[in-house]
Structure 1
Amino acid sequence: MAESATQTESIALYHYLRQNVVGTEKHVRTIRLMNNVRDNLQSNTTWTFITSGSFGDGLQTRGSDIDLMGVLKLIEVCEDAQTYFNANRIHFSMEVEDTQPGFAKLRLVHSNDKSILKDCYDINGNFYFSNLLFKQNFATDIFSTIHGPCMSDKAGVYDFASCLHCKLWITPAKQWIGRSNKSWPRYDIKQAIVKHGVLFVPVGVKGSTQEELEWRISFSVAEKLLIYSFTHTQLLCYAVMKILLKDVIALDIDCKELLCSYFMKTLLFWMCEELPSSIWKPENLISCFMRCFRRLIYCVEYSLCPHYFIPENNLFENKIQGQAQKTLLNKLSILNSYGWQCILLSDQVPNLNELASDIREETSYSYAKSLERLLSLQMYFVHSTCTSFDFLLEKTLCKVLSSKSSKIKYLYAEYMSKFYCKSERILPEDNTSYNKSTYKEYNTYISTLLLNTHHDAVSGWLMLSLYFYKRKQYNTALYIIQYSLSKCSPEKLHQFMQYSDIHHELFNLHVFRNMHIVQLWNFYY
């Protein structure tokens, strides 16, 4: 009977998290698709951009910041200096002999550009890449604070990490290929991970005598692919562990800095590899969470948290020890005495009775509102990292014309519509001449501005009216203004305005629930 009650509670918790905290499978897939489209839109011949962290995983939980990795294509890393390489690029070889597992020093092997030497230290005739000097090259007015391997904004909302790529899978992680041979991860996921290789981020072991010359080996892309392969139950279990960390454990000032989300992610990977896939079902969410929580207690008790790809790298080394270890272990033991209901200590999760009564479908309204917030945050990065308006336009048109997926086409058009609206180049200089050249420009601007009318109900049309006003076509401008005013209603005056109960009921109709995300945005904004 108790087991049956636990399954009922698991299903109630599963549905609550699915509808109110993490989102449905569709919601998570859309976030990931938005990230991938935006990453592709920003990437160019110099940089490949990768959304990482919680947003990169498809999680839009409270307190999540936005992490973006920029892979510099002009520099490549190889494990073996004899590996064939492109002579037009700068190449470093990795050295791991005198470094902690999971870290490497990068020695310059080849460069036609001597300016790279200013970011290197000469040690016995060999030039080693400084992670600090490399990071400082990317400091801007926006990203001005060094935070680990990242440059962060002053508010701590955005983290940008410049990193380097090794195209081949490295020896320290080769044991993972043969070790993880059960049902998870699948063979195709494993192959995709190995094919991508690894990244190197500019941060060394804190307190090391060679800290500035050490680079952390990053498996961010591999970890992203693993998270993408999660079932929704696995993803929700990961979310519960993050909520427990951020909302409960970290509230204790003595425990706040001891654990991080990456430890939770690593723990989930090990549990997913060890447990049969059949275990990860909605009715087992609580039991899976408790297994993960007790594994965390075990790791803290023995001060041992092996890195998932390089187990020799103990993530708890020099971190969870002494009095800090005793304090944290005591905190976890107290929470464990509550059983799974320790998660109810977070204000994101209601009490048991509310959980049981709150099983409902996600409305199309909340779905669109949530993703609109994400779109606005992401556009911040598009503007801060984009250097070529023409490049973006050409790339978007190619993707829209070549993609077979209507969702991807709509997302590219939506991103570009947002970008055009904020671009200084969207309106031409005053020019009333009428030759072939200006006629061609006229058609180009009209096409661009008409794209802009898709991004919301009012401002896109107002931009179009401003264009006609600048060309002294006043009647046309007035007509468009009148039309935009007819589209304007109180809830559309400001972004994220609160809608009435009538609007909620309307947006929950079947016709709206079947719309894709960009169609919903066009109705709501």
Structure 2
Amino acid sequence: MNAVRDNMQNFKNVTIITSGSFGEGLEMRGSDFDIMIVLKQFDVCEELKSHYHPNKIQLLIERDDVKPCYTLLRLVYSRSSEVMRACDEHNGKQYLSSALHKQGLVNDELGTIHGPCFSNKKETIDLASCLHCKTWISPAIQWVSRSSNSWPSHEVKQSIVDHGVLFVPIGAKGSQKENLEWRVSFSVGEKFLINTFTHTQLLCYALLKIVLKDVLAIHSECKDLLCSYFLKTIMFWISEELPLSIWKPNNLIPCFMRCYKRLIYCVEHSVCLHYFIPENNLFENKIEGRSREILLEKLSTLHSYGWQCVLFSDQISNFHVSMWNFQLEPHILYVDDVNQVLNSKLTNWNNARFKTQFVQKTFENGLCQTLRCQQPSIKDVYKYFISMCSSGLAQRISLESTLNNNKNLYKQYKFCLSTLLQNVYHDAVSGWLMVASIFYKTKQYSKALYIIRYSISKCTPEKLCYIRLYQITNC
């Protein structure tokens, strides 16, 4: 977490605002230092004023024939020749050009333009020149009264509205007036919203960003399709829809998976509505065609791992093993009872690997009886020997040509993988190592390494101690 750079500084002619991960209080690996510089000499408004400040540059918002979230800024009054050079004529009127505005600010230190920003040579700093409208714009009026839930609160909404909006120099891609258009930015309002997040909300947002940057973005086909702003937008929508009572630490995994499923839904339907102006679909002309199919396939594959998909990031999977070494009291009193159940006739049928149809049928009947039981401890035993069964079943499957394009072999591989994933419940360490082995055999070496690291993290001292106690009780 980073709160030091989450600030706003006022000077005579400019206001400097940190944005991006730093401005939101998240210092993520690989994040740029994003700065927004608001030029105070510009006065942007929706309606013409009867009087103008002689030292201000007056601009009027016009939205005719532009996409939602974009606008034209017509020059109404200016005494600056420099501003006049940054204007371009359209239908007999002068408009401040976003393209000319950026070109006039390029210098040796910040010489690279990408989107609305300038970058330094090392690409560690992104700077955006912004204009400020002190009033809340009409396309976003519906946001003020849209939500009936407790988030965001009325006080937070009022603070956001009181601040107004910003405009950054970038037009809608493909628009005939792209060089003239400016994009509406709610960056400051978004910082207000992020600052209201509970710790669980912030963790969900951070985990989504980690999956994006460390797992999805390493694939060239997916690298430029998604960005952090899309994830933030999804977080805002879900936060508005759910009651605050949901965002509790003990609900972290369900909350994260809900957010991840929403991301999959958005990609599947190529729709991600802007939080403040829903008429603007952020995925329009971006997430479509073959690229969308590839991204959806990657997201769905990761989803099959559940919350453990975050472990494919080395930021998480490389935590030192000692982080997992919690000192727990071994449950000595239960060892004999568990041992008696697991060595029962029912479990021995499982170890027989279903050699006869009679044994298999009897085993299935035993499982049905177990499922009817309401005691959690018995259900845990059920999970245990189902996991053991899966271990034996998976080891009998031949995978000589798994990477062959043959459809049957692919189904065989998927069946083996799903079976091995069920195998992790009775022996976490060896179970995960078997999963790693199938990835190694199919030449998916990076996945194998990730899972090996995770399995090592599961091999903690208290579990080894438990085994010794178990052995002592059976001497």
- The question of a shared fold, defined as TM-score above 0.5 by the shorter chain, is answered with yes
Are 2:192 and 1:225 equivalent residues in the alignment? yes
Structure 1 unmatched ranges of 5 or more:
1-27, 361-525
Return the structure number with greater relative CO, CA threshold 8 A, min gap 6.
Answer: 1
Q: For residues 90-489 of structure 1, what are the structure 2 equivalents within 5 Å?
A: 90-350=57-317, 354=321, 357=324
Q: Which amino acid in 1 is paired with 2:313? A: S
C-alpha change, 1:175 and 1:358, in structure 2 (3 Å) is farther
CA contact (8 A) 2:86 2:104 kept: no
Counterpart for residue 397 of structure 2: none
Q: Which amino acid in 1 is paired with 2:250? A: E
Aligned to 1:216, what secondary structure does the other structure show? strand
TM-superposed deviation, 1:351: 7.5
TM-superposed deviation, 1:83: 6.9
Aligned to 2:316, what secondary structure does the other structure show? coil
TM-superposed deviation, 1:84: 5.8
Post-superposition Cα deviations, 1:201-227, rounded to whole Å, max 9, x if no partner, equal 000111211110010000000001100
Counterpart for residue 408 of structure 2: none
C-alpha change, 1:354 and 1:81, in structure 2 (3 Å) is farther
CA distance in structure 1 between the aligned counterparts of 2:157 and 2:35, rounded to whole angstroms: 23
Post-superposition Cα deviations, 1:295-345, rounded to whole Å, max 9, x if no partner, equal 000000110000000000000000011111111111111111111111100
Aligned to 1:154, what secondary structure does the other structure show? coil
TM-superposed deviation, 1:180: 2.4
C-alpha change, 1:342 and 1:45, in structure 2 (3 Å) is same
CA distance in structure 1 between the aligned counterparts of 2:325 and 2:95, rounded to whole angstroms: 58
CA distance in structure 2 between the aligned counterparts of 1:84 and 1:159, rounded to whole angstroms: 36
Q: Decide which structure has the larger Cα Rg and report it.
A: 2
C-alpha change, 1:35 and 1:352, in structure 2 (3 Å) is closer
CA contact (8 A) 2:70 2:181 kept: yes
Q: Hey, which bits of structure 1, 4+ residues long, moved more than 4 A? A: 351-356
Q: Which amino acid in 2 is paired with 1:88? A: N
Are 2:39 and 1:72 equivalent residues in the alignment? yes
CA distance in structure 2 between the aligned counterparts of 1:132 and 1:281, rounded to whole angstroms: 46
CA distance in structure 2 between the aligned counterparts of 1:82 and 1:283, rounded to whole angstroms: 54
CA distance in structure 2 between the aligned counterparts of 1:240 and 1:355, rounded to whole angstroms: 22
CA contact (8 A) 2:112 2:119 kept: yes
C-alpha change, 1:278 and 1:120, in structure 2 (3 Å) is same
Q: 2:3 aligns with which of 32, 49, 59?
A: 32
Aligned to 2:88, what secondary structure does the other structure show? strand
TM-superposed deviation, 1:358: 6.2
TM-superposed deviation, 1:232: 1.2
Counterpart for residue 59 of structure 1: 26
TM-superposed deviation, 1:137: 2.0
Q: For residues 507-522 of structure 1, what are the structure 2 equivalents within 5 Å?
A: none
Q: Which amino acid in 2 is paired with 1:115? A: E
CA distance in structure 2 between the aligned counterparts of 1:338 and 1:33, rounded to whole angstroms: 36
TM-superposed deviation, 1:282: 1.0
Q: Which amino acid in 1 is paired with 2:113? A: I
CA distance in structure 2 between the aligned counterparts of 1:295 and 1:117, rounded to whole angstroms: 46
Counterpart for residue 456 of structure 1: none
CA distance in structure 2 between the aligned counterparts of 1:108 and 1:265, rounded to whole angstroms: 33
CA contact (8 A) 2:149 2:242 kept: no
TM-superposed deviation, 1:283: 1.1
CA distance in structure 2 between the aligned counterparts of 1:192 and 1:356, rounded to whole angstroms: 41
Structure 2 unmatched ranges of 5 or more:
328-475
Over aligned residues, Cα RMSD in angstroms?
1.9
TM-superposed deviation, 1:352: 9.8
TM-superposed deviation, 1:116: 1.6
CA distance in structure 2 between the aligned counterparts of 1:298 and 1:355, rounded to whole angstroms: 38
TM-superposed deviation, 1:147: 1.1
C-alpha change, 1:303 and 1:89, in structure 2 (3 Å) is same
CA contact (8 A) 2:6 2:18 kept: yes
CA distance in structure 1 between the aligned counterparts of 2:252 and 2:271, rounded to whole angstroms: 25
C-alpha change, 1:296 and 1:186, in structure 2 (3 Å) is same
Q: Which amino acid in 1 is paired with 2:232? A: K
Q: Which amino acid in 2 is paired with 1:35? A: D
C-alpha change, 1:304 and 1:291, in structure 2 (3 Å) is same
Aligned to 2:68, what secondary structure does the other structure show? coil
CA distance in structure 2 between the aligned counterparts of 1:276 and 1:353, rounded to whole angstroms: 36
Post-superposition Cα deviations, 1:172-220, rounded to whole Å, max 9, x if no partner, equal 0000000023211111111100000000000011121111001000000
CA distance in structure 2 between the aligned counterparts of 1:166 and 1:187, rounded to whole angstroms: 21
TM-superposed deviation, 1:156: 1.3
Tell me the TM-score normalized by structure 2.
Answer: 0.66
Q: Which amino acid in 1 is paired with 2:202? A: L
Counterpart for residue 425 of structure 2: none
CA distance in structure 1 between the aligned counterparts of 2:189 and 2:255, rounded to whole angstroms: 23
TM-superposed deviation, 1:359: 7.4
CA distance in structure 1 between the aligned counterparts of 2:49 and 2:169, rounded to whole angstroms: 24
C-alpha change, 1:116 and 1:268, in structure 2 (3 Å) is same
Tell me the TM-score normalized by structure 1.
Answer: 0.60
CA contact (8 A) 2:16 2:35 kept: yes
C-alpha change, 1:358 and 1:158, in structure 2 (3 Å) is farther
CA distance in structure 1 between the aligned counterparts of 2:223 and 2:51, rounded to whole angstroms: 46
Post-superposition Cα deviations, 1:41-99, rounded to whole Å, max 9, x if no partner, equal xx311100000000000111111110000000001111112476534200111111211
